[in-house]
Structure 1
Amino acid sequence: MKGVLNLEDQLSFYMAYHSNKVNILIHSICVPLITFSSFFLLANFKSPLPVFQSSLDAYANLGVLSSAGLAILYILLDPYVGTAVAPIVIGSSMLFTDILENDSYIAKANSVAGVIFVISWIAQFIGHGVFEHRAPALLDNLVQALILAPFFVTYEAVFVLGFRKDLQKRLEVKVADKIKKFKEAKQAKTPVKEKK
């Protein structure tokens, strides 16, 4: 099955932009930091209308809603890994909502989340420029790259732990083919210098 909900298609797209081990390590650290700091910052945007008519209204914010949407997509891509990740994704945004409910922490916590967000993005661009020598996936497909980044990191951990080896082997073949095509296309665009 090809398309949006095809795990192999989605992971191979993103993994083709991340073949250098140092860049993968940078992403393995920075992507979770970006994801969690994003949920934190988005938790500041609450629904102006009561949603649940209860104390749960605080959780009707962009952080919780975006984390729930991401968790649902991950479950649709892979019911097992997605279900394992969903409580972490949604739970973190609910925890951040609770932190933001304490007025004395809001300004400092938002500043810290903002700094983490910016530094993590800079580190990832350095990873691509210095180590990967390839533009980030988000320049080719912003939405796909932003949604897949956390799942990519999750699968890197899954593979390191020795799970889903069959998937890993299939992805390695697909990714190698995509990288080969990228290098061939890049080489075809590079003018050949004449020898004097």
Structure 2
Amino acid sequence: MTLQEWFAEYGESHQNSKNKIIHKICVPLIFFSVVGLLLQIPVQMGPIKLGEIFIAIALGWYSTLGMKPVMVMLGQLVLCYILLYLLGMVIQPLWAALVIVFVLAWIGQFYGHKIEGKKPSFLKDLQFLLIGPLWVVKDLFFK
């Protein structure tokens, strides 16, 4: 599928304006918390953490959609790394805060889908979990 086809299909279950707002808040929080939790995995494989390998695999998947999606996601990852570094200086243990953010953001997501009256897209295809972070910024980067 092309990026536009992914966006169109994802958008089918995100028509309600309240659900869209909830997603534009909760999807970035979920992405941020997942990146943070992946980086908390203590397994080192040389100089690379196991979580970073998962992030690299996700970037490989984004590369199948084109260079622009990869660059947008790299930008989001850089922002996550900076925020995680700063938060790690003031919040300990960081992983606990990330779990709380993750759980609360998913509660928000499911509430949004209750308002929408449609199931979350990822229940149809797990790849939609990777589309969400692009979809929330599509108006900024993908006209």
TM bucket (normalised to shorter chain) is 0.7 to 0.9
Q: 1:119 aligned to 2:104?
A: yes
- Within-5 A mapping of 1:1-196: 3=1, 6-49=2-45, 51=46, 57=47, 59-62=48-51, 64-90=52-78, 92-93=80-81, 96=84, 105-107=91-93, 109-130=94-115, 132-141=116-125, 143-158=126-141, 164=143
Report the CA distance between 1:97 and its aligned residue. Answer: 6.9
Q: Distance in 2 between matches of 1:145 and 1:91?
A: 21
With over 3 angstroms needed to count, the CA separation of the structure-2 counterparts of 1:70 and 1:97, relative to structure 1, is: farther
Report the CA distance between 1:140 and its aligned residue. Answer: 1.5
Q: Distance in 1 between matches of 2:70 and 2:59?
A: 7
Identity %: 26
Identify which of structures 1 and 2 has the higher relative contact order when contacts are C-alpha pairs closer than 8 Å and 6+ apart.
2
Q: Distance in 1 between matches of 2:43 and 2:13?
A: 37
CA contact (8 A) 1:74 1:151 kept: no
CA contact (8 A) 2:31 2:133 kept: yes
Report the CA distance between 1:145 and its aligned residue. Answer: 1.8
Q: List gaps (5 residues or longer) in structure 2.
A: none
Structure label with greater radius of gyration = 1
**TM-score normalised to the size of structure 1?**
0.62
Q: Distance in 1 between matches of 2:78 and 2:57?
A: 9
Q: Please tell me the residue identity of whatever aligns with 2:42.
A: K
Alpha-carbon RMSD = 2.6
Q: Please tell me the residue identity of whatever aligns with 2:76.
A: I
Report the CA distance between 1:29 and its aligned residue. Answer: 0.5
Q: Distance in 2 between matches of 1:145 and 1:79?
A: 19
Report the CA distance between 1:157 and its aligned residue. Answer: 3.6
> Alignment length, in residue pairs?
143
Q: Distance in 2 between matches of 1:11 and 1:121?
A: 20
Q: Please tell me the residue identity of whatever aligns with 1:139.
A: L
